[in-house]
């Protein structure tokens, strides 16, 4: 009975926190994007060289798009002649540096974990954008068309007109629509996390995925791929495992693997990229997760 009450309490508390956090951050981001024209974002991705990769990662971190919006935008930029490397940095950064994911890690896991996660994924997206360009990844882009917004979320604010009150209302409407689209995935993640928190013994988690197990991090990065349908599912599960004794390096690897290589993301990438390029992207994200996890444990 005590475990059941703890599980229910955990579920309700984390659900309330994530709901407020998701709606708040989504509203703020939607409002900010009303003042940044999408044309400006596209222009940033036309820069060549390392500066272009940097701006690609910046655009990816500013845009809380789901794969259904990121992929058509990616294809449109490539067809318009945007440099391949910066666009790839955008593709990698977009799911990993989603403002909602960053804010969830900050609130639930602390500022150190948040800053480290951001730094590793940002630098990784820049490096791998350059690498994919150098190895000739552009030749593996298909001639394809993808329907935008197939997941029901909004890629950008619907209006940029009106006073601040009208823009806030429109921004919240967008945030609410996005929240409804991911609610089931968020609840699944919180439910699994609550079950871990309430019923899985701490000694068991520590033994399997604690800091003393050198294989915990690559295993966690690999488990993240099939386990998470949406990135929002990863955070509450990672939090529960961290509270049970899983090393933070393994948690970071789990989140990077789940957020960057989610099954819908990989499936949509396969609709515009050939298998070799999709495989290269998956390997690079997995490598980021593993290296980031080991470095996190070593430093922090």
User: What does the pLDDT look like over 142-188, one tens digit per residue?
Assistant: 875 555 445 544 444 445 556 778 888 888 988 888 788 778 878 88
Burial 213-238 (b: 16+ CB within 10 A, else e): eeebbbbbbbbbbebbbbbbbbbbbb
Q: What is the pLDDT of residue 68?
A: 58
Q: Is residue 153 part of a domain?
A: no
Residue 250 belongs to some domain of the structure:
yes
**Structural domain contains residue 155:** no
pLDDT digits (tens, 9 = 90+) for 201-234: 777 777 777 777 888 888 888 877 655 556 667 7
CA-to-CA distance for 111 and 243, rounded, in angstroms?
Answer: 16
Please give the model's pTM, rounded to 2 decimal places. 0.75
- Hey, how many other C-beta atoms are within 10 angstroms of the C-beta on 97? 24
Task: Give the model's pLDDT for residue 227.
Answer: 58
Structural domain boundaries, residue 136: 2-147+161-299
**Closest of 95, 110, 125 to residue 255, by C-alpha:** 95
Return the number of other C-beta atoms located less than 10 Å from residue 20's C-beta: 11
Q: How many domains does the chain have?
A: 1
With contact defined as beta carbons under 8 Å apart, do 157 and 30 qualify?
A: yes
pLDDT in tens, 76-86: 778 777 889 99
- Could you tell me what percent of the chain has a pLDDT over 90? 6
pLDDT at 71 over 80: no
Q: Which of 200, 173, 190 has its CA nearest to residue 228? A: 190
- Whole-number Å distance between alpha carbons of 199 and 7: 8
Q: The tokens of 190 are what?
A: 């919180």
Q: Is there a domain that residue 169 lies in?
A: yes
Task: Tell me if 137 sits within 8 A of 84, measured CB to CB.
Answer: yes
Beta-carbon count within 10 A of 87 CB:
28
Task: Report the C-alpha gap between 234 and 212 in whole angstroms.
Answer: 23
**Tokens representing residue 257 in the block:** 């693997």
Nearest to 178 by CA among 142, 145, 154, 149: 154
Domain membership of residue 205 (yes or no) is yes
65 Cβ contact partners less than 8 Å away, ≥ 6 residues apart? 73, 94, 153, 155
Region of poorest pLDDT, from 2-6, 82-86, 163-167, 271-275: 2-6
CA dihedral defined by 114, 116, 122, 128, rounded to 10 degrees? -140
Residue at 152 is within a domain: no
């Amino acid at each position: 009975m005590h475990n059941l009450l703890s599980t229910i309490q955990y579920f309700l508390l984390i659900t309330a926190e994530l709901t407020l956090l998701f709606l708040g951050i989504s509203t703020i981001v939607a409002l900010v994007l009303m003042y940044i024209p999408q044309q400006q974002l596209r222009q940033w991705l036309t820069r060549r060289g390392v500066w272009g990769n940097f701006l690609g990662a910046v655009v990816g971190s500013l845009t809380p798009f789901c794969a259904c919006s990121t992929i058509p935008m990616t294809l449109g930029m490539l067809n318009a002649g945007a440099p391949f490397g910066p666009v790839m940095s955008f593709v990698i950064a977009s799911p990993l540096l989603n403002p909602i994911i960053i804010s969830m890690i900050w609130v639930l896991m602390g500022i150190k974990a948040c800053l480290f996660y951001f730094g590793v994924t940002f630098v990784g997206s820049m490096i791998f954008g350059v690498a994919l360009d150098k190895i000739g990844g552009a030749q593996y882009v298909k001639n394809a068309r993808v329907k935008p917004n197939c997941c029901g979320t909004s890629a950008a604010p619907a209006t940029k007109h009106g006073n601040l009150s009208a823009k806030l209302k429109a921004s919240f409407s967008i945030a609410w629509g996005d929240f409804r689209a991911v609610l089931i995935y968020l609840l699944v993640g919180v439910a699994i996390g609550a079950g871990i928190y309430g019923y899985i013994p701490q000694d068991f988690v520590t033994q399997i995925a604690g800091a003393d197990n050198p294989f915990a991090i690559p295993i966690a990065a690999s488990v993240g791929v099939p386990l998470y349908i949406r990135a929002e599912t990863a955070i509450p599960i990672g939090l529960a495992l961290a509270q049970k004794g899983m090393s933070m390096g393994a948690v970071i690897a789990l989140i990077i693997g789940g957020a960057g290589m989610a099954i819908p993301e990989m499936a949509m990438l396969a609709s515009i990229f050939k298998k070799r390029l999709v495989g290269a992207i998956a390997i690079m994200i997995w490598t980021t997760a593993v290296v980031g996890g080991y470095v996190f444990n070593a430093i922090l």
